[in-house]
Structure 1
Amino acid sequence: MRCDVELQAAQCGTEPDRMLSGSVALSAHTPQFHSAFVLATVHRLPNEILIFIFDLCCPEESRNSGEEVDNVSQKHLRELGKVCSLWYWCIMGTPSLWCRVEINTEFWDSVPLSTKTLLSLVEFALQKGGTHPLDVRLTVWSAEFRPAMEMLVEHISRWRQVHFTGNSVVSQYLAGVKGKVDQLTSLRLEGNQWKSVEIFKHAVQLSKVELYGRVDEIPELPWTQLREFRFQNRGARGANDCLALLSQAANLDSASFALRLNSRSFDTPWKSSSSRITLFKLRLAARQAELVGCLFDCLTLPALKALDISDHDGLSPPLWAPPQFAAFAARSSLRDHLTELSLHAQITDLELLRCLETLPSLTSLHVSDSDEHTTITDTLLNGLICSFDAAPLIPRLVCLEFTTVLAFTASVYNEVITSRVVARRPRNESDRFTAILRWREPANHEDIFTMLVRLTALKVEGGLLFYLYPGN
């Protein structure tokens, strides 16, 4: 507790005292103002509302040694507790406010406090949390800071959301841990060598898992109860085994994979994978269309409603594989139930139009292009215009979002949006059509102004929600 008092003293200074003295002096001359202050709404808020507000003040993950001290010491709670005695006792008497423990030991060598002091601050927060479920974020790369891991394991029965980053220091220690994780609902592991860890397979409430590492180092998990799964594979090998996890997790609602594909990805044949997920995200790095095609060839997703395909970590967008996607779409019956498509790939305007012809149930379309790979052109837009003498492409469309270099003319874009809004009016559909346009710099700002004027007028007339702003 001594280090805790020293930390508070160092952070307090004399400014709060001067503020309090000024407040007292002012209130002595203005009794009515003082009464209004006492009766201010914030002082009449129920504790439940105050606790909710205090909880929103929780800081983000540490980015430097100063933020690390603030996080470990729960500075936001200590500062709030200085406002008045009501807030102080509310904070000190509410275990849920102390249920987040953020530790990044990469900064501990450079902070002004000793490791012993930092650990005592962590212990103080753990004690104040009582038996309340615990959310933990821990980064450990050196055995020197293993005591932080040991301290958290003492509260293993409280773990609710856990995020561990590290190497064998963490994983080897957890491999020998015994205990129940009955309250664990969310797990995120970054690094390698997790395969020997067994405690998570007994987590009866675990439903969300995020893994960043190698597929051959995934620990045992209660696969059949998972509802959300994310995996980022480190390296090109093992991509086929990544997708095979879909069949292992039979009750998934959503899945996300980040994969780098090259010729080594196919040293062994890919396994066919089938899943009834409704949301599927793919972040791909692939310089050959054949690689993406092989991925489509092994997938069958007969309940898919939303598909999101884009680049991996800012690398070049993946090359599109039209024949293989068409076969995947037919095999999965996407024409009947896929309602949302987000696409940032190396695909031509004509290829995208042919793709959209097979997806008549789409209600939302999000497309991105760039200077190197232009997709959104007048050719694409002309194919999206609703006309009275022919059935429109993707007739149920209610949201159209482009992130673009503006390689098209403003008048054609305006005609697409106008025709879609007008086509919906006879059907008396209550939802307005949504158009979102993000432009990549440099852009022709005269074209942007032209679009803005016309579509703003259409927005005023009703039937349109229009958003226009810079985007990446």
Structure 2
Amino acid sequence: MPLCSSCGSNTYVPRVAVDFLGLHDRLRTLSGPASVQPDEVASVLQNIQRDLEDYEVEICRLECLRQEKERLEQYATQFQSLLSPFRKVPDEILQCIFDDCCDMNIFRVVDSKRRLPMHSSQALRSKPAMVISSVCSRWRRNALSMPAIWSRISLEWRMNATRDYCEDEHAQVFFPISNFLDRSQEYPMTVNLDIQTDSFLKPGVLHPSLEQFLGHIVRWQDLSFNCAVYSIKDLLDRISFPVLRKLYLSTCMIEEDLIPFIDTVPNLRSLSLVNHDDFSGRFTSFNFKLLSHLDLAPNQADIQDSFDQCPNLFSLGITESWQDSRAEGPMKGPYSSRIEILTVRHGCCWSVSDASDSVFPLLSFPSLKALHLENSESGGWPIKKYWNNFKPFMMFVKQSSFQLTTFSIQQLSISDANLVYILVHLPTLQNLTVDDISPDRSPLSSCFIENLHGYHSSSLHPQTGSIIPRLQSLRLLNVAAKTFSDLSVVEMVQSRWIPTRRHAVGTSALEVDCLREFTLTFLNRSEAEAGAYRSLDPIERNGMRIVVRMLKKEGEEEEEEKD
């Protein structure tokens, strides 16, 4: 191969100098017998052929060098991974992170015009255990060694298979479920069965989705059962529930379903009955000495009986209105010095009722630590009018005289002034969560934000000092308020960031504690509108946990790098 004469390097020098202009000129002007010079053309073509062969060899050599370069770069990248800080995390801590990240593995089978959906059509993101185990060999090894993350399974069935049932297609849908059941080994299971379909197959034959789980029924620990066709009694002739501790029933017939079922759950700790028939006179037949949580729609005559029959009860969930609230005779006010957690469900039931139906004036829980006002249905319709149980609720707060540390409200139509008034009467509050409801009836106004300021007074709270001085965690979710001021929020958070008081809680009634966590979720806003919250970055770097999420109009959630 010819070398470069000027530098002596391996740079290739061609034998034939390419001169297209000279060649074109000869092609245009020369003709006749004298213009044909076979020896010259043959010599040039021979040199060109040799040059092409040499070029091909050089290209192959350079291609090999390029491939070697890519291999070397890939090796360097992988070798540099040895310095990754995450490699310093022990497997024990990694498994704790996995356990926190893997909540429920959800399998959905929805109705469609096509035949039964295959496994490939199911979203992988709804199965966190499968996602984590697919990242790398180390993550997979740790995930497979954790039966707990595979034992939390939720099945949502929305397909009527009466006409088009196909055993082979069902086998393909349920294969991943059986895979999860196998990987969960003998670990106690959390099972959520939401079956909304017509009865089909043969009489007495259960839905194939239930058949998958019934083989592991002895290790069900938490069970949520919502089925339009089958009742809980359909499972009774199978086997008992020796480790079941938590039971949620969306629909329950006391006499037919619950009473026979209770004998099969000797270790029950939590019982939730959302829709049930009349409970009156039947609670005394139960002996729930181990029960610590009870959730039901109470009758006035029954709720005190629940306290008497459940000596270890410390958590209670009830509806906001009594059943049979206009029953004859004096109303008995339930009292319990043991209740520490209270969840009150509001929604369509109280939207058509008046304040005389409210449970609040009759309740008295002096030991209450956490209070949650929740919507009766997730994703329920916003209420068309303001909350009409504000005054009964304040009666409950004042007569209980509790020292509340956690308070949350979800989709409650309440004015900002009433919400501030409630918080004024909760000076010991440490954790506050407000889930917004609609732009027209939102309590999350700029005036409300000003009242959360660490030291400024406002028109709703002219007194000096903050309304909730012990606040450490503030979560404002699904904010849809029209008068929301981003700058006011930033200023409020900054006023509560007091690093010197992170370890000094409640030492002075006139000073506020340091805010440790702030979460803000917007509706119908884009990422571009989050610029005002960039000024919170220094606080986030210094220790406060800050999460800001924007939900676009298209429904796509964008998360700022705040966590």
- 2:373 maps to 309
2:278 to 190, 194, 216: 216
- 2:4 maps to none
Report SS of the residue matched to 2:421.
Answer: helix
Distance 1:139 1:271 in 2: 37
1:351 CA drift (Å): 1.9
- 1:161 maps to 222
- 1:188 maps to 248
Distance 1:281 1:70 in 2: 37
2:505 matches 1:437: no
1:341 to 399, 407, 420: 407
- 1:3 maps to none
Q: Residues 118 and 241 from structure 1, CA distance in 2 versus in 1: closer, same or farther, beyond 3 angstroms? A: farther
Report SS of the residue matched to 1:371.
Answer: coil
1:390 to 464, 467, 471: 464
Q: Which moved more, 1:139-148 or 1:112-121?
A: 112-121
1:390 CA drift (Å): 3.0
**5+ residue gaps in structure 1?**
1-29
2:332 matches 1:266: no
1:398 CA drift (Å): 1.9
Distance 1:119 1:63 in 2: 8
Distance 1:58 1:304 in 2: 30
- Which residue identity lines up with residue 224 of structure 1 in the other structure? K
Distance 2:419 2:153 in 1: 47
Distance 1:241 1:315 in 2: 31
Q: Residues 199 and 442 from structure 1, CA distance in 2 versus in 1: closer, same or farther, beyond 3 angstroms? A: closer
2:533 matches 1:452: yes
Q: Residues 116 and 241 from structure 1, CA distance in 2 versus in 1: closer, same or farther, beyond 3 angstroms? A: farther
Q: Map Cα deviations across residues 388-414 of structure 1 (whole Å, 9 max, x no partner).
A: 993432211122333342514444434
- 1:204 maps to 266
Contact 2:105–2:153, Cα closer than 8 Å, also in 1: no
Q: Residues 423 and 130 from structure 1, CA distance in 2 versus in 1: closer, same or farther, beyond 3 angstroms? A: closer
1:307 CA drift (Å): 1.4
Report SS of the residue matched to 2:494.
Answer: helix
Distance 1:354 1:173 in 2: 50
1:165 CA drift (Å): 3.3
1:211 CA drift (Å): 3.0
- 2:547 maps to 467
- 1:413 maps to 489
Contact 1:405–1:440, Cα closer than 8 Å, also in 2: no
Distance 2:542 2:215 in 1: 60
Distance 1:457 1:125 in 2: 41
Report SS of the residue matched to 2:497.
Answer: helix
1:332 CA drift (Å): 1.7
Contact 2:268–2:290, Cα closer than 8 Å, also in 1: yes
1:204 CA drift (Å): 2.5
1:330 CA drift (Å): 2.1
- 1:373 maps to 441
Distance 1:138 1:230 in 2: 19
Q: Map Cα deviations across residues 119-161 of structure 1 (whole Å, 9 max, x no partner).
A: 9989999899887656555566527433866896676544433
Q: Residues 101 and 329 from structure 1, CA distance in 2 versus in 1: closer, same or farther, beyond 3 angstroms? A: closer
Q: Which moved more, 1:105-114 or 1:124-133?
A: 124-133
Q: Residues 376 and 280 from structure 1, CA distance in 2 versus in 1: closer, same or farther, beyond 3 angstroms? A: same
Number of residue pairs the alignment of both structures matches: 423
Q: Map Cα deviations across residues 80-135 of structure 1 (whole Å, 9 max, x no partner).
A: 99x99xx99x98x9999997787777647245326997999899998998876565
Report SS of the residue matched to 2:360.
Answer: helix
Q: Residues 382 and 271 from structure 1, CA distance in 2 versus in 1: closer, same or farther, beyond 3 angstroms? A: same
Q: Residues 216 and 360 from structure 1, CA distance in 2 versus in 1: closer, same or farther, beyond 3 angstroms? A: same
Q: Map Cα deviations across residues 267-299 of structure 1 (whole Å, 9 max, x no partner).
A: 436653334332222231223684387221122
**5+ residue gaps in structure 2?**
1-70, 83-89, 111-115, 458-462, 506-512, 553-563
Contact 2:361–2:396, Cα closer than 8 Å, also in 1: yes
Contact 1:322–1:355, Cα closer than 8 Å, also in 2: no
- 1:17 maps to none
Contact 2:186–2:219, Cα closer than 8 Å, also in 1: yes
Distance 1:458 1:435 in 2: 14
Report SS of the residue matched to 2:539.
Answer: helix
- 2:108 maps to 62
Report SS of the residue matched to 1:209.
Answer: strand
2:293 matches 1:225: no
Distance 1:423 1:158 in 2: 47
- Which residue identity lines up with residue 142 of structure 1 in the other structure? S
2:315 to 254, 257, 273: 254
Provide the identity percentage: 17
Report SS of the residue matched to 2:267.
Answer: coil
- 1:12 maps to none
Contact 1:293–1:324, Cα closer than 8 Å, also in 2: no
When normalised by structure 1's length, the TM-score is 0.65
1:180 CA drift (Å): 3.8
- Which residue identity lines up with residue 382 of structure 2 in the other structure? S
Q: Residues 305 and 428 from structure 1, CA distance in 2 versus in 1: closer, same or farther, beyond 3 angstroms? A: closer
Q: Residues 69 and 226 from structure 1, CA distance in 2 versus in 1: closer, same or farther, beyond 3 angstroms? A: farther
1:421 CA drift (Å): 2.4
Q: Residues 410 and 246 from structure 1, CA distance in 2 versus in 1: closer, same or farther, beyond 3 angstroms? A: farther
Distance 2:412 2:170 in 1: 51
Report SS of the residue matched to 1:266.
Answer: coil
1:339 CA drift (Å): 1.0
- 2:421 maps to 354
Distance 1:461 1:415 in 2: 17
Task: Map residues 41-56 of structure 1 onto 2, 5 A cutoff.
Answer: none
Distance 2:382 2:516 in 1: 31
1:338 CA drift (Å): 0.3
